[in-house]
Structure 1
Amino acid sequence: MPKHSRRYLEVRKLVDRMKYYDVDEAIDLVKKTATAKFDETIELHLATSIDYRKPDQHVRGTISLPHGTGKKVKVLVFAKGDKAKEAQEAGADYVGAEDLVEKIEKEGFLDFDVAIATPDMMRVIGRLGKI
């Protein structure tokens, strides 16, 4: 029979396996018993009295996480002149016109998550349709 660690035995005393915890209690317990040195993922199971055969009882919805997903979105903007300046001031990571198109075509530059363009740049970025 394998011997459990001291930490495991201490944590085991905190958890009552026969008790149903409300959400706040469960989250506090998860935080107390966490052993990893990074932000761990937790899984949540809820028991509901919903009958999924009835269309008015389906659960649908979205939530917004209070601190986002933690990933910074890199934005590339195809624009010229004043619109390029506006994009730079708004916080775009990459701003350019034909130079960015060439960089993407020749160097395979794809270090961005979202690309947007002004209407006058559509004919220039049309060449990128294959990428």
Structure 2
Amino acid sequence: MAKFGKKYQDAAKLIESGKLYASQEAMELVKKTATAKFDETIELHVRLGVDPKYADQQVRGALVLPHGTGKTQRVLVFAKGEKVAEAEAAGADFVGSDEIVQKIQGGWLDFDVAVATPDMMGTVGRLGKVLGPRGLMPNPKLGTVTMDL
């Protein structure tokens, strides 16, 4: 029989085995039973009842955490015309069009997120082989191809 430490045994007394907890109650219980000296990770499993082999039932998306992840993102915006000034006012780190495309083709990838306006997607499309495998390609489904910068 395995022996458990005192902290584990104290935490195990707070949890009823086999009971399904409501999400709010479960979060409170997780915080009470946390003993590590670092920020612990919580894993959530949800049964959605969808069949992923059908395209209309696939679940995917992106979200923004309410307090962020603590990491600052370097944002690149592909835009031209008056959208350049709008992107700079919104706080983009790098803004441009054809000159940025040439820079990326030369090997520069010093950014975390790429956003593009729809009129620039023809130009940005040439970078698919470079940006796609790294997950940096602007995508309308994720909201990174938009007129609202």
Q: Equivalent residues in 2 for 1:1-131 (5 A)?
A: 1-17=1-17, 19-36=19-36, 37-44=38-45, 67=66, 70=69, 74-80=74-80, 82-109=82-109, 111-117=111-117, 119=119, 125=124, 127-128=126-127, 130-131=129-130
Identity of aligned residues (%): 38
Aligned residue type for 2:95: V
Unaligned runs of 5+ in 2: 50-58, 131-149
Single out whichever of 71-80 and 102-111 deviates more from structure 2. 71-80
Taking the aligned partners of 2:30 and 2:128, their CA distance within structure 1 comes to 48
Aligned residue type for 2:17: R
Aligned residue type for 2:25: E
Unaligned runs of 5+ in 1: 51-59
CA contact (8 A) 2:80 2:96 kept: yes
CA RMSD of aligned residues (A): 3.9
Deviation at 1:10, TM superposition (A): 1.0
Taking the aligned partners of 2:3 and 2:34, their CA distance within structure 1 comes to 20
Taking the aligned partners of 1:81 and 1:91, their CA distance within structure 2 comes to 17
Taking the aligned partners of 2:114 and 2:28, their CA distance within structure 1 comes to 37
For these two proteins, the number of residue pairs brought into alignment is 119
Deviation at 1:104, TM superposition (A): 0.3
CA contact (8 A) 1:76 1:93 kept: yes
| Aligned partner of residue 84 in structure 1, secondary structure | helix
